[in-house]
Structure 1
Amino acid sequence: MRFSSQIKPISYLKSHTAEIVKTLSDSREPMLITQNGEAKLVVMDVKTYEEQMETFALLKILALGRREIERGEFESVEDVFEELDGTAER
């Protein structure tokens, strides 16, 4: 993803909103909006946003799992399968 071709001032956003909505929906590329020469907003279509949120959720689950492994908070595969088979001692 390259923001360099998708950088627009806020005045452009105000005057070309419908065009921007169509462009972002078609291209699925986010647009960086500047105000007084500084980056202020990232605008993207809702599908891309939802996909990113799903990706972030999966990454968070992976990070939590990794921390549990580092702390030794896990069971061996053999123990899990024994529990599933109902052969584990209780």
Structure 2
Amino acid sequence: MRYSTRIKPISYLKAHAAEVLDNLLEAREPLIITQNGEAKAVIQDIASYEETQETLALLKILALANREIEEGKTLPAEEVFERLRARIPER
């Protein structure tokens, strides 16, 4: 993705808000908003935002798992299954 084509000044956003929103939904690419020539904000469609948040959550889970592995906070799978079976009431 080329962000250089996705940069607009805040005045453009103010004058073309509906068009910007339509474009965000269609392109599914973020738009960088500038103020006084400096990047100040990024806007994106809600579906892309939700996907990003889900991805970040999964990455956090993976990072926590890796840290637990490095700290030796793991058990052999066989032991975990035995513990789970012990919790299941017999019928």
Q: Shared fold (TM-score greater than 0.5)?
A: yes
Aligned-pair CA distance for 1:22: 0.1
Query: In the alignment, residue 42 of structure 1 is paired with which amino acid?
Result: V
- 2 CA distance for matches of 1:4 and 1:83? 55
Query: What is the TM-score with the length of structure 2 in the denominator?
Result: 0.89
1:22-77 CA distance string (max 9 Å, x none): 00001100000111111100010011001100100010011011111110011111
Matched residue, 1:69? 69
After TM superposition, the score normalised by the length of structure 1 is 0.90
Structure-2 residue corresponding to 1:9: 9
Aligned residue pairs, count:
86
Over residues 68-87 of structure 1, what are the superposed CA-to-partner deviations in whole Å (9 max), with x where a residue is unaligned? 1110011111211222333x
Counterpart residue number, 2:57: 57
- Number of the residue aligned with 2:85: 85
Look up the SS of the partner of 1:73 in the other structure. Answer: coil
- Identical-residue share of aligned pairs (%): 59
Give 2:45's aligned residue.
45
Q: Could you tell me which residue of structure 2 aligns to residue 23 of structure 1? A: 23
| Letter aligned with residue 37 of structure 1 | G
Deviates more, 1:75-84 or 1:31-40: 75-84
Task: Give the match's secondary structure for 1:42.
Answer: strand
